[in-house]
Chain A
Amino acid sequence: MNEVLEITLRSLGVSGAATLIAAAFGLPLGLWLGARGAGRLARSLLYAGMGLPPVVVGLFFYFLFSRSGPLGGLGLLYTLPAVAVAESVLAFPLIAGFTMAGVASRAEGVRRLVKSLGGNELQAFLTLLAESRRVVVAALAAGFGAVISEVGAVTIVGGDIRHATRVLTTAVVLETRKGELERAAVLGLLLLGVTLVVSGLLVVFGEREAA
């Protein structure tokens, strides 16, 4: 298989997996916090998490997965699952935070509306969910965008191993380091294109009204 295609598919796969893992935890948390109203502490923690430095997260998981580390026995260092886990930690606060903020801004209005129409708390919550599709799409796009464009953690945890853990960002770094700036630029454009396509798909399919 063409190596560029291979790297692109790997980038998509590992970033998609990381986004899904992060969404599995981040969406429910964000919805819950947004609907019930999060305290200052919870908000501060989530917003701080949005600024988690990828290299620090990468180093953390390096030590965790290192053969000399606590989870070394799993042999996960320099594998894609390890990369996906590290990336999901980066995407989680983004997804939870965006969801929370978006939901919270609608929660009061929706609840008042549903109650005024004679609905109960559960109905108010379900309506809020249905009304929050755009928020969820924005949160997923933010998480995916952060993960697929990330280079620090994926380098430390993945090792940029050819045919194993090389992704678009690390390939760009490699080609830049080699002085192959044109090739690096092409890969960079490809990365932008992939992000654009995924965001587009998210918007088109994610924001479509449920029939």
Chain B
Amino acid sequence: MHPRWFLVLLLTALPVWARAPLVLATTTSVNDSGLLDAILPGFTRETGIPVKVIAVGTGQALAIAGRGDADAVLVHAPSLEAGFLAEKKGILHACLAKNRFLIVGPPADPAGVRWETNVLNAFRKIYLKGALFVSRGDRSGTYVREQRLWKAAGLRPQGKPWYLESGSGMGATLTLASEKGAYTLTDLGTFLFTQTRLKLAPLFDRDDPRMLNQYSFMAVNPERYPWVKFEEAKALRAYLLRPDVQAAIGNYQKARFGRSLFEPLGGECILPIK
């Protein structure tokens, strides 16, 4: 090849190579809702930093980041986040957005969850009725919350014949619950996106602190993993917390569903990280 053409090739390739991509490990609910596809291109345009998104459950996202294979995480399980911070694997924790968890189930609602104002009583009713319930059965943020709710209600559903563990993501779990006429706990975003094709009704959809779903950002600690792209992670954190981006998060798909999928938190946590 003529050297001049090689130079041209190099220069055209340069913008792509100029900044190595940032790896963001995140939960399926944030990614599958399309939120990241809506807000991350703006970050890449402004900073030239491409972002590679790995969408897995919260437990797996933290495991990947805990080996230094991601540069930042976006997750929703305060208790697991607290452990991640305590082990000095993550730093610069910031709460980005919230929505809520819902109990959804068959529209006929055999356990009568619809009439409950206390979520723990709703879980007790499902338990006493022995109504089918699908659990994620993984270490996702939703599963962690579900376990806390059963525990807070003083119940142990594991091993009951009506308690099914799907072992799959939220969308697949909702489909399973719909096919089986079962109850399940879901995040608002995934439910709104899949609702139209499901025979599931929102049965507990209330402003209850126990059902608050809080999404947090953490950078992976460069002191522990010297190879991580910490400056890039800091830039992403700053971008996600910027008022205009926070507003964009709050407005994402709001017109379509008539409510916010993600309500911005501006960095302030409501649920304690512990």
> Which residues of A pack against B, CB within 8 Å?
66-69, 72, 77-78, 159-162, 164, 174, 176-179, 181
Q: B197 near A66 (CB under 8 angstroms)?
A: no
Contact of A177 among B23, B54, B170, B227 (CB under 8 A): B170
Give every chain B residue within 8 A of A78 (Cβ-Cβ). Answer: 23, 52, 54, 69
Nearest to A165 among chain B residues (CB) is B52
Q: B52 near A177 (CB under 8 angstroms)?
A: no
Give every chain B residue within 8 A of A179 (Cβ-Cβ). Answer: 171, 174-175, 190, 193-194, 197-198
Q: A66 near B69 (CB under 8 angstroms)?
A: yes
Bitwise interface map of B from 25 to 58 toward A, beta carbon under 8 Å scored 1, else 0? 0001000100001000000000000001111000
- Say if the beta carbon of B67 comes within 8 Å of chain A: yes
Give every chain A residue within 8 A of B52 (Cβ-Cβ). Answer: 78, 159, 161, 164
Give every chain A residue within 8 A of B225 (Cβ-Cβ). Answer: 67-68
- Say if the beta carbon of B110 comes within 8 Å of chain A: no
Bitwise interface map of B from 52 to 76 toward A, beta carbon under 8 Å scored 1, else 0? 1111000000000001110000000
Nearest to B197 among chain A residues (CB) is A179
Nearest to B40 among chain A residues (CB) is A162
CA distance A127 to B197 in the complex (A): 60
Q: B67 near A161 (CB under 8 angstroms)?
A: no
Contact of A174 among B32, B190, B193, B197 (CB under 8 A): B32
- Say if the beta carbon of B169 comes within 8 Å of chain A: yes
Nearest to A158 among chain B residues (CB) is B54
Interface hub of B28, B37, B68 (most chain A Cβ within 10 A): B68
CA distance A174 to B190 in the complex (A): 13
Nearest to B28 among chain A residues (CB) is A177
Give every chain B residue within 8 A of A181 (Cβ-Cβ). Answer: 175, 197
Interface hub of A66, A174, A179 (most chain B Cβ within 10 A): A179
Give every chain B residue within 8 A of A161 (Cβ-Cβ). Answer: 52-54
CA distance A17 to B174 in the complex (A): 37
CA distance A174 to B23 in the complex (A): 18
Q: B32 near A177 (CB under 8 angstroms)?
A: yes
In whole Å, how far is B56's beta carbon from the nearest beta carbon of chain A? 8
CA distance A63 to B184 in the complex (A): 34
In whole Å, how far is A137's beta carbon from the nearest beta carbon of chain B? 36
Q: B55 near A160 (CB under 8 angstroms)?
A: yes
Nearest to B24 among chain A residues (CB) is A161
- Say if the beta carbon of B99 comes within 8 Å of chain A: no
Nearest to A162 among chain B residues (CB) is B53
**Minimum-distance CB pairs A-B, first 4:** A179-B194, A177-B169, A67-B68, A159-B54
CA distance A177 to B21 in the complex (A): 26
Query: Could you tell me which residues of chain B, from 105 to 121, have a CB within 8 Å of some CB in chain A?
Result: none
Beyond A67-B227, A178-B194, A179-B198, whether A160 also contacts B171 by CB under 8 A is: no
Give every chain A residue within 8 A of B37 (Cβ-Cβ). Answer: 162
CA distance A159 to B28 in the complex (A): 12
CA distance A68 to B89 in the complex (A): 13
Bitwise interface map of B from 173 to 201 toward A, beta carbon under 8 Å scored 1, else 0? 01100000000000000100110011000
Q: A177 near B68 (CB under 8 angstroms)?
A: no
Nearest to A182 among chain B residues (CB) is B197
Q: B193 near A177 (CB under 8 angstroms)?
A: no
In whole Å, how far is B182's beta carbon from the nearest beta carbon of chain A? 16
Q: B68 near A160 (CB under 8 angstroms)?
A: no
In whole Å, how far is A21's beta carbon from the nearest beta carbon of chain B? 24
- Say if the beta carbon of B92 comes within 8 Å of chain A: no
Q: A178 near B54 (CB under 8 angstroms)?
A: no
Beyond A78-B54, A159-B52, whether A178 also contacts B171 by CB under 8 A is: yes
Beyond A161-B52, A164-B52, whether A177 also contacts B168 by CB under 8 A is: yes
Contact of B171 among A77, A159, A177 (CB under 8 A): A177
CA distance A181 to B176 in the complex (A): 13
CA distance A67 to B67 in the complex (A): 7
Bitwise interface map of B from 209 to 235 toward A, beta carbon under 8 Å scored 1, else 0? 000000000000000010100000000
Contact of A178 among B69, B193, B227 (CB under 8 A): B193
Cross-chain pairs A/B with CB under 8 angstroms, 26 sampled: A67-B69, A68-B69, A68-B225, A69-B67, A72-B227, A77-B69, A78-B23, A78-B54, A78-B69, A159-B54, A161-B52, A161-B53, A176-B171, A176-B172, A177-B169, A177-B170, A177-B171, A177-B172, A178-B171, A178-B194, A179-B171, A179-B190, A179-B193, A179-B194, A179-B197, A181-B197
Contact of A68 among B68, B168, B169, B198 (CB under 8 A): B68
Give every chain A residue within 8 A of B67 (Cβ-Cβ). Answer: 66-69
CA distance A77 to B52 in the complex (A): 12
